[in-house]
Structure 1
């Protein structure tokens, strides 16, 4: 049995990579970061979601990829979707890609990319629920009305966050309380999408993990120390090799879960992909040395985005609980 991507799947991946390289290359990424983060101060007001790019992704079938052709979609499946999302993760495309993709066929305009749809996909706390891109969204998946939220400082400059207060808080306004009462039902409204959302987010993480391998290897070949590239030193070689192994293991798990559609395998894939994205970004930063800590390096963007994605749709703790429950069920 051949588990390699088909020619059509390879062409799909190459087409998406070409689109993103031409439309959202490094210059566009850095311009978006500077606009959104206020050149590193975190006080900028630039929009994180490029509406023009969003529409182009819609026209290319990014969001309608799994909609049936009878409904105006492309008619493909999860295996093709994870290939596409892997490329988006590699390019660090900002925005609620997963939520908008899941909303295709449910929220008007989502499939075409004319609407930005977010979701209650982040872990909350006692103060309320964090929602990414709420200020730029046209709808929230599973919510009848767009809730009101308070902006909070985010680690990733291209993932703006809002906190939607839960009802009963002493400082909550009447409007915030009404909005929060709607948000409490998020578990019921989003639960049907959690497994697929986790898998697509894992694909984004895999793309980022693979990209940081490329960045580390390239820098190791360019940066010289003691008269030779630092990539010639055994410690750097081992670090880059470990990064590649992590990324490829996670990618294999994501591809397998996309084929089976099993929630447990999707949870395992998310667990592996989160670890690969975060650890690879840290190792890539280490390979870059002092340069990796500077604002103009791209490494920190991958690390910050990986941190955020690790909290989306299914956290490590939630994935571990699901896998443990499956093991207990099988043992019983």
Structure 2
């Protein structure tokens, strides 16, 4: 099967990247992380106008009429720049919640024990009664914890609710791939300019191995996510989420290693990628749930 992007998909990626580079560059990311978490409603509406939330909504319903592979491409770009906000919940609500597709409404949705961006949400899909704010490791992902978390099992891959959560897991995996790709790029760029002992640190074998490992993890995860977007198979989505979570977390850690102490400073974005990767890894389909789904497939009895 050929997973190379078509010309239209390449154009979609280019368009989303240009929009985000213009409206949410690295300076905007650092500024957002330095202050209290708040959504840029203007940017949210721009995303809506660009069709980000309505990508999979049929044209007859006012959407773009594309499929899950195209949504994965768009969410990968969002993950690359650490775009904040309940992107997945709002995307899933397009066509069901008034204003979600256009970016006029911000939608939050509980998943297991947590719900993101509850205070900023115009609409909450699901029961968030009694949710209390908790401290989030990621300054750009405010969290609330539910008093009685919803039960999640691998069997939720069947039915409407399960299908939505599977889609959410895949889009989260796409964001993780985007983050892994960005930290890989950052590590390679830093290794090419930072000098020690009179030469770039990228010339040292240990650093070369770190960067090569990051690239391999990222490309393997990307291939798994793209394949799962084409097949929509629950087991493949679970495997893609596992690989993408691992790639995002481990690439961010290795990027920190390449940057040294500088990677932990506020003027660097590297630590923000690691923190977001930790949060995403616990959302929609955490590792334990994905592993259970894989194990159930391998041992159906």
Match runs of 1:230-269 below 5 Å: 230-269=201-240
Q: What's the counterpart of residue 83 of structure 2?
A: 93
Q: Does 2:59 align with 1:69?
A: yes
Q: What's the counterpart of residue 13 of structure 2?
A: 13
**Secondary structure of residue in 2 paired with 1:240:** helix
Relative to the length of structure 2, the TM-score reads 0.94
Contact 2:30 2:266 in 1 (8 A): no
Shift of 1:148: 4.6
- Quote the RMSD (CA, aligned, Å): 1.7
1:250–1:140 CA distance, 2 compared to 1 (3 A): same
Distance across 2 between alignment mates of 1:242 and 1:151: 37
1:184–1:224 CA distance, 2 compared to 1 (3 A): closer
Contact 2:3 2:226 in 1 (8 A): no
Q: What's the counterpart of residue 174 of structure 1?
A: none
Shift of 1:186: 9.0
Match runs of 1:50-65 below 5 Å: 50-65=40-55
Higher relative contact order structure (alpha carbons within 8 Å, sequence separation ≥ 6)? 2
Distance across 1 between alignment mates of 2:239 and 2:280: 15
Moved more, 148-157 or 284-293: 148-157
Larger Rg: 1
**Secondary structure of residue in 2 paired with 1:131:** strand
1:321–1:186 CA distance, 2 compared to 1 (3 A): closer
Distance across 1 between alignment mates of 2:102 and 2:204: 49
Contact 1:67 1:104 in 2 (8 A): yes
| Aligned equivalent of 1:203, options 162, 174, 178 | 174
Q: What's the counterpart of residue 70 of structure 2?
A: 80
Contact 1:254 1:266 in 2 (8 A): yes
| Aligned equivalent of 2:137, options 148, 155, 162 | 155
Shift of 1:50: 1.3
Any idea what the Cα deviations from partners look like across 1:53-102, whole Å, max 9, x if unmatched? 11100000000000000000000000101000000000100011111101
Distance across 2 between alignment mates of 1:192 and 1:9: 24
| Aligned equivalent of 2:296, options 305, 319, 325 | 325
Contact 1:142 1:186 in 2 (8 A): no
| Aligned equivalent of 2:147, options 161, 165, 169 | 165
Shift of 1:140: 2.0
**Secondary structure of residue in 1 paired with 2:299:** helix
Contact 1:89 1:205 in 2 (8 A): yes
Q: What's the counterpart of residue 277 of structure 2?
A: 306
**Secondary structure of residue in 1 paired with 2:52:** coil
Contact 2:3 2:227 in 1 (8 A): no
1:249–1:208 CA distance, 2 compared to 1 (3 A): same
Shift of 1:295: 2.0
Distance across 2 between alignment mates of 1:93 and 1:106: 23
Q: Does 2:121 align with 1:137?
A: yes
| Aligned equivalent of 2:95, options 95, 105, 117 | 105
Relative to the length of structure 1, the TM-score reads 0.86
Shift of 1:296: 1.8
Structure 1: give runs of 5+ residues left out of the alignment.
Answer: 37-45, 125-129, 167-182
